[in-house]
């Protein structure tokens, strides 16, 4: 079992990462004069620039080269890079469009989809409690679908892409920091081409918007890398069941920001839908408490 001090440090690190992911909606909202897709490309490029000296200083070069030398690892990380880039792009666009409530719903659904992927792809057992949780979650999505006249596609795409990303990163044996560096390295050429095309057509916002937004675009690198690093530190020092509880921090914060700061609508239908999703999460959490996860050496 991990030492109490290490466990406490792990909880603090993981919780901090989720708090950052919760409040980051404010960050993207501040970059209001730049399209979501240009913000996405800067997020990739500046994340790579921020990580490069760090991985060199930490001596991660051989591990990164090993990942790049493996065809299987490169294909897996290219897949995960596409998934997370799509997730980031839709998330930033939704925030800028005033649809933060829908993004928070997506990240509440995400852990349930992660469980489903575990059942389908990894052969994990699905208890009766978790089957009940899926029924509640499906009812919550159905309520929104009926009210909206269609599926809440932002929520579904965000949940599906991030849950699939988590599965891909689970099966590829590459450390979190190394994997993020390789992912950004693989998509950086495409991001660079997109920025170059914007500049060629006189549509590049970087350097042409006010200095605050220009600096925020540069800051997108550390804003992306730091919480992921904190999460990787925490994930090694706390049990998966603990992480399961902590991951609800981010969508709860973003939902509160959406409703109380940006005054996004949250009527009766959405309240019912969220209540069903929250009930599903309570059931899953209860099931996790009934059968606490075993801490493996890799999770310490």
- Lowest-pLDDT choice from 161-170, 248-257, 283-292: 283-292
Provide CB contacts within 8 A for 196, sequence distance 6+. none
pTM: predicted TM-score of the whole model, two decimal places: 0.83
Question: According to the model, what pLDDT value does residue 241 have?
Answer: 57
Q: What is the pLDDT of residues 49-106, one digit of tens each?
A: 999 999 999 999 999 999 999 999 999 999 999 999 999 999 999 999 999 989 988 8
Q: What is the pLDDT of residues 173-219, one digit of tens each?
A: 888 788 889 999 999 999 999 999 999 999 999 989 999 999 999 99
Question: According to the model, what pLDDT value does residue 195 have?
Answer: 95
Indicate the pLDDT class of residue 273, thresholds 50, 70 and 90: confident
Is residue 278 scored above 50 in pLDDT? yes
Q: What is the pLDDT of residues 93-118, one digit of tens each?
A: 999 999 998 998 888 887 777 777 77
Distance CA 285, CA 289 (A): 6
Is residue 38 scored above 90 in pLDDT? yes
Question: According to the model, what pLDDT value does residue 125 have?
Answer: 67
Provide CB contacts within 8 A for 201, sequence distance 6+. none
Question: According to the model, what pLDDT value does residue 276 have?
Answer: 86
Indicate the pLDDT class of residue 267, thresholds 50, 70 and 90: confident
Question: According to the model, what pLDDT value does residue 211 have?
Answer: 92
Distance CA 91, CA 154 (A): 8
Q: Where are the domains of the chain?
A: 4-299
Provide CB contacts within 8 A for 107, sequence distance 6+. 158, 159, 162, 247, 250, 251, 254
Q: What is the pLDDT of residues 124-169, one digit of tens each?
A: 666 787 778 878 878 887 887 777 667 788 988 998 998 888 888 8
């Amino acid at each position: 079992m991990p030492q109490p001090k290490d466990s406490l440090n792990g909880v603090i690190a993981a919780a901090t990462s989720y708090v950052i992911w919760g409040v980051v909606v404010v960050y993207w909202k501040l970059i209001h004069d730049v399209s979501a897709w240009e913000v996405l490309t800067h997020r990739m490029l500046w994340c790579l620039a921020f990580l490069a000296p760090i991985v060199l200083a930490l001596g991660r070069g051989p591990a990164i080269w090993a990942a790049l030398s493996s065809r299987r690892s490169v294909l897996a990380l290219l897949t995960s890079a596409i998934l997370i880039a799509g997730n980031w792009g839709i998330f930033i666009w939704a925030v800028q469009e005033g649809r933060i409530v829908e993004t928070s719903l997506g990240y509440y659904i995400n852990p349930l989809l992660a469980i489903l992927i575990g059942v389908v792809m990894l052969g994990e057992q699905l208890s009766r409690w978790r089957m009940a949780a899926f029924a509640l979650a499906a009812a919550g999505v159905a309520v929104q679908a009926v009210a909206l006249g269609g599926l809440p596609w932002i929520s579904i795409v965000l949940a599906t892409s991030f849950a699939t990303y988590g599965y891909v990163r689970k099966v590829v044996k590459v450390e979190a920091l190394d994997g993020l560096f390789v992912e950004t390295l693989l998509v950086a050429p495409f991001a660079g081409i997109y920025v170059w095309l914007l500049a060629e057509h006189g549509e590049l916002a970087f350097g042409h918007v006010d200095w605050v937004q220009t600096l925020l675009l540069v800051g997108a690198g550390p804003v992306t890398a730091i919480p992921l690093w904190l999460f990787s530190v925490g994930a090694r020092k706390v049990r998966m069941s603990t992480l399961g509880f902590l991951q609800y921090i981010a969508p709860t914060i973003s939902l509160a920001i959406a409703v109380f700061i940006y005054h996004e609508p949250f009527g009766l239908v959405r309240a019912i839908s969220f209540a069903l999703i929250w009930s599903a999460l309570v059931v899953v959490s209860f099931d996790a408490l009934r059968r606490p996860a075993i801490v493996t050496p890799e999770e310490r």
